[in-house]
Chains A and B, each alone.
Chain A
Amino acid sequence: MPVFKAPFNGYSVKFSPFYESRLAVATAQNFGILGNGRIHVLELSPGGPGVTESIAFDTADAVYDVCWSESHDSVLIAAIGDGSVKIYDTALPPPSNPIRSFQEHAREVHSVDYNPTRRDSFVTASWDDTVKLWAMDRPASIRTFKEHAYCVYQAVWNPKHGDVFASASGDCTLRIWDVREPGSTMIIPAHDLEILSCDWNKYDDCVLATCSVDKTIKVWDVRSYRAPLAVLNGHGYAVRKVKFSPHRRNLIASCSYDMSVCLWDYMVEDALVGRYDHHTEFAVGIDMSVLVEGLMASTGWDELVYVWQQGMDPRAS
């Protein structure tokens, strides 16, 4: 399985929604504490297993997250540690990039997510306790959602309802928002410790998963939000990111500070269905391809990016 060695510590990896063999990686120097950042666009070589870099963009500060546009196949959006949100066009050479830079957040921008249904807007979550809504063609944010009491670590769009998104924050609450409403529409105190990530079930628009510093992943149904549908234990340290499979209703992938990537089926009694220990440092980024069923990618602070098919060993060559 191909491995890509980046010069900096990996933070996030995302498959392109247009090209099966393309993915973007967000990296940061010095573990993201202080230093430059770089965005890599990788291509999986069709001949034999291998991954090559097709283009890379350097940034002055750490890149914490990257996401692909759903409307333009060559555009990606980066969340930067200096509070800016930058738009890159991979069809243009690096000297012409970035094509936009929005400096509105007061603190580090920790995540960015593109709307998969409406395809015209994206949300960014920042450590300044706010979530901002943007459109590609507007010079400034459309809305700012300020309700959380601490850093917002992730904001994710609902895959069926183009106006609804969820945000996970260090104030231990998960909030559901509707962009048509002035404030959040639901507040779920999902964990007792900081919530680091959340993701919607692609096949059930009312179900979402959260993962937290308390080492658990909880699956919630917004229709009965007082208690979770499932609590998934098994990670040894904080769970950094959680992702629902785009192909299977009950499959969840997660990565954690215990350096492992796990697969879960939350409808099953023994929920852990897979575990990969290929990283030698914190595993912080994970993604499952929408175009290719079973294809997964992960990255971590060991500066490596792995791409593999479920069921196979990521380190096998």
Chain B
Amino acid sequence: MATPSDFPLSPPDDKSPIPEVVTTPSPTPPTTEAQQASIAQETPKQQDSPPSVFKNSEPLREDQIQNAIKFLSHPRVRGSPVIHRRSFLERKGLTKEEIDEAFRRVPDPSPSSQPTVSTQDGQKAVSNVQPQGQVQAMQPAPVVMVPPPSLLSRFRWYHAALAVGVLAASGAGTAVFVKKSLIPRIKSWVRRIMLEEETDPLKKADAKPSLAEEAVAAAKAASAAASDVARVSQEMMITKSEERKYFEDLTRLLGVQVQEMKSLSNNIRNLEGNYNNLPKVYSADQEVYGGGLVKTSAERRSYANGSNIDYDTRSARSASPPPAPPADSSMPPHPKSYMDIMSMIQRGEKPSNIREINDMPPNPNQQLSNPRIAPKTKPWDYGQAPQEENANGPWWQPKNPRSMDFGYETTASRSIGIQNETNTMEPAALPRQRSWVPPQPPPVVMAEAAEAIRRPKPQAKIDQEAAASDDQSGVSDELQKITKFSETGGDGSGNLQITEIQEEREQQQFSQEGN
């Protein structure tokens, strides 16, 4: 919204932030519009450049997301907590965005994942409801085909009890029914026969057809009764065998559960006790002696469990033991007293040397004492050389400031180190100048030193060279230029083969002295 009249009238304080903006190309006094535009450009630039390096700026990788979806759709993974699933995917190298995308795409009915789902808008919620309905519809089908053990067990428990009751009732009912109906029938049949026998001589003649009829009727009744009995007894047998089957299944499941619990308690005991024989819980090869580290955590927590230390506000001992990682045969050898203390704690004893100490602040509002020294600049923040005392200063000051002698050196490694250091030096890195501060030796000496490093032919000025080679700095190009110079016209390159061994020894001596 600039007007041409604003041009010369821009106040100076509006111009003050503008010099910082590198992007404004026009040298003329900026208009307010240009100011706004440049400021608008400036702020995103300032925000983008520093933190952008520490962010994932790559696009989402579809193949990784597909793998993650397959992983998350696995039924066993469904049962695990969300944090474990996220941790697994992170360990596989997925970025946060990819993990979130995979979670979004996989329908997840578990409640702990609802927060991630709920962060989405309503449209996502609708799409989630549909997959959930499908998932629920899917679930009864598998139940019919291959019911998961938990469902089966629930089915069995409840239904087994019901079936047992029903069968018992039916068995009792049939027994009663049989008693009530069968026995009277037999009795009546017997009575009838008796009566018939009595009345037989009298009514034999005219009772014959009726007798026959009665006999037939009785036979029929008997057969019916027999078949009834047979049927009922067969049913009872079947139900009995079914009951027995159910009971057997029940006992088997219980036995399996008992075994699992036994193995779990064994595992826990092993993990707590003997960390040398810990079983491999994870399929990956894990060697831990972070045992020195993590074992202490496991032990601290198990101790807390063992002695019933309550979670009070002061101590932060947690009640639940962590999943202690397994150890391998390459566990570092722990000190003997460490083992003693561990075994003491496992037995529930407390080491005797612990004192009761009150380490709470005596005055919670105590003021900090005033600082006596201003904060010092860090060596990586400035480019100048700080003071370096060599022989005059306290014993801890470096005597040989640029010494590469770490107690482990060969000339080969030194030369490689120097060459690589020079290779990695960049002109733009001002702070690095500080590390190359020590006095630059004259080129001639450097050349001879460079030669000495590159070939073990010692030169005349051994002392200076050794010092120079220790302090040496310089770009690799420079070095090569100078060595070329020395090779063509340098002195002392000829007559030293004889004294090679002596001077090498001298060199070694000097480098030892220099330490």
CB within 8 Å of B: which A262-277 residues: 263, 265, 267-270, 272-276
Given contacts A171-B87, A273-B417, A311-B515, contact A49 B380 (CB under 8 A): no
Cross-chain contact A213 with B289 (CB below 8 angstroms): yes
Q: A1-25: contact bitstring with B at CB < 8 Å (1 yes, 0 no)?
A: 0000000000000000111110000
Query: Chain A nearest CB: distance from B375 CB in Å?
Result: 6
Known: A203-B431, A258-B332. A72 touches B368 (CB 8 A): yes
Contact with A along B336-368 (1 / 0, CB 8 A): 011001100100001101111111111110111
Nearest chain A residue, comparing its CB with the CB of B423: A267
The distance in angstroms between the C-alpha atoms of A240 and B294, with both chains bound, is 12
Is B429 interfacial (CB-CB < 8 Å)?
yes
Question: Which stretch (B23-31, B172-180, B408-416, B461-469) binds chain A?
Answer: B408-416
- In the complex, are the beta carbons of B406 and A273 less than 8 A apart? yes
Main secondary structure of the interface of A (DSSP, over half): loop
Of B214-222, B273-281, B391-399, the stretch lying at the interface with chain A is B391-399
Complex contact B421–A250 (CB within 8 A) = yes
A140 in contact (CB, < 8 A) = no
- Contacts A60-B359, A119-B375, A203-B380 known; A91 to B96 CB distance under 8 Å? no
Bound-complex Cα distance A306 to B356 (A):
30
- A138 interfacial by beta-carbon distance below 8 Å: no
Closest chain A residue to B412, Cβ basis: A270
Determine the interface band of chain B, counting residues with CB < 8 A from chain A.
Answer: 35 or more
Number of A-B contacts (CB under 8 A): 304
Interfacial chain A residues near B54, Cβ < 8 Å? 161, 164, 176, 178, 185-186, 222
Closest to B95 in A: A187
Chain A residues 108 to 156 lying within 8 A of chain B, measured CB to CB, are 108, 116, 119, 127-128, 136, 149-151, 153
Indicate if B439 sits at the interface (CB-CB under 8 A).
no
Does A238 count as interface, using CB distance less than 8 angstroms?
yes
B369 touches A92 (CB 8 A): yes
Q: How far is the CB of A168 from chain B (nearest CB, A)?
A: 12
Q: Which residue of B lies closest to A63 (CB)?
A: B359
B184 lies within 8 A of chain A by Cβ: no
Interface residues of B in 182-223 (CB under 8 A from A): none
Are B396 and A170 in contact (CB-based, < 8 A)? no
Q: Are A257 and B289 in contact (CB under 8 A)?
A: yes
B126 in the interface, Cβ–Cβ < 8 Å?
no
Interface string of A238-268 (1 = CB under 8 A from B): 1010000011111000000110000101011
Is A192 positioned at the interface, with any CB of B under 8 Å from its CB?
A: yes
Pairwise interchain contact A159-B400, C-beta atoms closer than 8 A: no
Instruction: Decide if A40 is an interface residue (CB 8 Å cutoff).
Output: no
With A96-B362, A99-B366, A186-B54 already in contact, the answer to whether A307 and B396 are too (CB < 8 A) is yes
CA distance A59 to B367 in the complex (A): 20
B84 contact set on A, CB distance < 8 A = 149
Q: B108 at the A/B interface (Cβ < 8 Å)?
A: no
- Which of B325, B395, B429 has the most C-beta atoms of chain A within 10 angstroms of its own C-beta? B395
The answer to whether B394 and A44 touch across the interface, beta carbons within 8 angstroms, is yes
Contacts beyond the supplied A119-B375, A282-B332, A309-B398: 17 A-B pairs with Cβ under 8 Å: A29-B351, A36-B355, A46-B395, A72-B368, A74-B371, A108-B316, A127-B322, A151-B294, A189-B92, A192-B284, A202-B379, A206-B53, A250-B421, A268-B416, A273-B413, A310-B406, A312-B515
| 16 A/B residue pairs, CB under 8 Å, sorted by A | A19-B373, A31-B335, A34-B303, A36-B355, A73-B371, A89-B368, A127-B322, A164-B51, A164-B54, A180-B51, A189-B92, A203-B432, A237-B330, A294-B398, A310-B403, A313-B407
